[in-house]
Structure 1
Amino acid sequence: MSWDELYETARTIVADDKGILAADESTGTIKKRFDSIGVESTEENRRAYRNLLFTTAGMEEYIGGVILYDETIRQAADDGTPFAELLASKGVVPGIKVDTGAKPFALFPGETVTEGLDGLRERLEEYRELGARFAKWRAVITIGNGIPTDACIHANAHALARYAALCQEAGIVPIVEPEVLMDADNSIETCDEVTGRTLIALYAALYAFDVHLRGTLLKPNMVIAGKGSPSQASTEQVASMTVHNLKRHVPSLVPGIVFLSGGQSEVQATENLNAINRIGGPWPLSYSYGRALQASALTAWGGEAANVEAAQAAFLHRARMNSLAVAGQWEASLEEQVAASR
């Protein structure tokens, strides 16, 4: 695949106010989701749930790409069509999670480095044969007493750059995801400072490894206060600080930025995305949400075939709300109208 094809793939994913459905929950993570609704996490139940999402009529109007898990990209819809093929037939670009998780960073207590580089070249070749056209690798940056250290930030940036280079070698668009967690009690100013340090290190590493930035997507956190902070910023402040941070640190030739929801509620993630887009920047500012697209749908489904239609309606609603937010056209009243109709 040429550089132009990588760029076109990246642009297609975020074209026309579309975003990404992150359906790449590991087996352990989706078990926790299923436990919350009293559904056993069997391979067939996991397949049936993903089938529900991917066969939702009209989802392709709002979803430009779907990140799959290793198990999921090998599964098929009820009619036997492989999931990657089903998505591609709807004009939705199939993607794949390729890291093997954040592991303790040796000699740096409380910090992690993401693993998965061993054998990645061969895995990417197989994933491309299975239909994947983009990939995702998540680095985890934790805020705490004396952390993150420069060593942790640079180790994760280095891994992200090596992953990105291998993806482009394989003709796959890399999503680079350096997530600064919002789990602590830090202020929004601290998040802003750590996010800036992380992005500086990331783009220095990408440049050093000769990664073609026009053939990448960035999946960052929003600049937001930690969950435990006594002072929670307004939507307007989150939007202003997030866009200002990105304008300082992210090259304008990056073809798209797709935010992670980072534990925000469904509506909060949409509201913040909408405010961000009302400010805007030189890139499409879109979404790559997991729970913030799926929470209501998962609850509505409850593991029952009779609830598939209601679950698909809930998923489609959230996808539409976030697409409107990308256009800066979301209004809280739209949520209230749907709630009233139900």
Structure 2
Amino acid sequence: MNLQELEKTARALVAPGKGILAADESFGTIEKRFKAVGIESTEETRRAYREMLFTTEGIGEYLSGVILFDETIRQKASDGTPLPKVLENQGIIPGIKVDKGAKDMALSPGEKVTEGLDGLRDRLAEYRGMGARFAKWRAVIAIGDGIPTRRCIEANAHALARYAALCQEAGLVPIVEPEVLIDGDHSIEQCFEVTEWMLKTTYQQLYEQRVELTGTLLKPNMVISGKEAPVQSGVEEVARATVECLLRSVPAAVPGVVFLSGGQGDIQATEHLNAMNRIYKGRLPWELSFSYARALQQQPMEIWAGKPENVEKAQKIFRHRAKMNSAARSGSYTEELEKEAA
């Protein structure tokens, strides 16, 4: 493991004004999202869609990295250039999602544990050879009646730590993603409690697996009310609760926190990130950035709709969303800015 190289990559991924695009939807997820906007999910439509995103002019100004799916890292643009190379040509670092998905946890109704450790060492070596420089593994924690349980929290934290150790051994920066889900009617206080518990357990496990935190990134949920909660927290409240929770749980050695959007609306996700960076400017040990999927892609996907003639328009909207989140990195996003570029 070359720690210096890992640290350099981790820092490049949270460079000022830049964030990460998560374009690593599994077959099931992309099919669901395509279907909703009337696109048939085939290998060719998925390839064309991602090429449309990755070839957007000037996108490297706002994106530091893109997380790819196994199929995507093997695909080529229409001119024959491998998609990871298309990203590199834009100054963007290619990454790869390596988990095999969250499966039902045995004897633990309503809870999931992420699989994919078997054979991971060999897969990481292959991805490194294909140009990937970082990886991602997602654990999902649900809040509900009597859940999460300690066994679910610990099983997921342990798997995240083992994945991270294997990544560093292979020369890849691990993005550690413990996601407390937004689904449910829980309060922001409950979300805070479970997020703090999950983060503290995860960092204890990372320590035990000898993972070097300076060569990692954290991809957490924001601390937010459940989607069905009768009381929805405002932007400032979410920003303060999220940062307070991170300050209690995330070691200062971690270079950056790249939030997931996790079911928030695209503007909402931008506003929350912006408020955190505005309120706490210059006072935090880590960079606060983004690693969004839907919050960057929803509008471009709707506009593109699988039609070549819509590519330019879709790219324009994609660039706009990336630019808005880039502004949120420094707390300088405003409603005026949102309207002006739109």
Is the structural similarity TM-score above 0.5?
yes
Cα distance in 2, alignment partners of residues 210 and 301 from structure 1: 45
Indicate the residue corresponding to 2:328 in structure 1: 325
Q: What aligned pairs does 1:155-174 form with structure 2 within 5 A after superposition?
A: 155-174=155-174
Q: What aligned pairs does 1:1-342 form with structure 2 within 5 A after superposition?
A: 1-280=1-280, 281-339=284-342
Cα distance in 1, alignment partners of residues 74 and 29 from structure 2: 18
Preserved contact between residue 135 and residue 167 of structure 2 (Cα < 8 Å): yes
Preserved contact between residue 102 and residue 115 of structure 1 (Cα < 8 Å): yes
Structure 1: which amino acid aligns with 2:246? Answer: L
Aligned with 1:77: secondary structure? coil
Structure 1: which amino acid aligns with 2:299? Answer: S
C-alpha displacement of 1:249: 0.6
**Deviation readout 1:213-252 (Å, 9 max, x if unpaired):** 0000000000000000001111000000100110111011
Aligned with 2:16: secondary structure? helix
C-alpha displacement of 1:333: 1.9
Structure 1: which amino acid aligns with 2:127? Answer: Y
Preserved contact between residue 58 and residue 90 of structure 2 (Cα < 8 Å): no
**Percent of matched pairs sharing the same residue:** 64
Aligned with 2:56: secondary structure? coil
C-alpha displacement of 1:73: 0.1
Q: Cα RMSD between the aligned structures?
A: 0.8
Q: Give the TM-score normalised by the residue count of structure 2.
A: 0.98
Aligned with 1:288: secondary structure? strand
Cα distance in 2, alignment partners of residues 259 and 286 from structure 1: 6
C-alpha displacement of 1:279: 2.5
Cα distance in 2, alignment partners of residues 41 and 110 from structure 1: 29
C-alpha displacement of 1:16: 2.2
Preserved contact between residue 182 and residue 224 of structure 2 (Cα < 8 Å): yes
Cα distance in 1, alignment partners of residues 331 and 210 from structure 2: 34
Q: Give the TM-score normalised by the residue count of structure 1.
A: 0.98
Cα distance in 2, alignment partners of residues 22 and 194 from structure 1: 24
C-alpha displacement of 1:17: 1.6
C-alpha displacement of 1:282: 1.3
**Deviation readout 1:6-61 (Å, 9 max, x if unpaired):** 00001101102200000000111111111011111010010000000000001000
Structure 2: which amino acid aligns with 1:173? Answer: V
Cα distance in 2, alignment partners of residues 19 and 326 from structure 1: 8
Cα distance in 1, alignment partners of residues 144 and 231 from structure 2: 17
Aligned with 1:132: secondary structure? coil
C-alpha displacement of 1:88: 1.4
Runs of 4+ in structure 1 deviating by more than 3 angstroms, as ranges, are: none
Structure 1: which amino acid aligns with 2:120? Answer: L
C-alpha displacement of 1:86: 1.4
C-alpha displacement of 1:2: 0.9
Aligned with 1:286: secondary structure? strand
Cα distance in 1, alignment partners of residues 148 and 278 from structure 2: 31
Unmatched tracts of structure 1, length 5 or more: none
C-alpha displacement of 1:337: 2.9
**Deviation readout 1:263-302 (Å, 9 max, x if unpaired):** 0000000000000111332111000000000011001101
Preserved contact between residue 13 and residue 19 of structure 1 (Cα < 8 Å): yes
Preserved contact between residue 158 and residue 202 of structure 1 (Cα < 8 Å): yes
Cα distance in 2, alignment partners of residues 14 and 335 from structure 1: 23
Structure 2: which amino acid aligns with 1:337? Answer: E
Cα distance in 1, alignment partners of residues 116 and 74 from structure 2: 19
Cα distance in 1, alignment partners of residues 11 and 240 from structure 2: 25
Cα distance in 2, alignment partners of residues 279 and 106 from structure 1: 43
Cα distance in 1, alignment partners of residues 124 and 341 from structure 2: 41
Cα distance in 1, alignment partners of residues 14 and 341 from structure 2: 26
C-alpha displacement of 1:78: 1.4
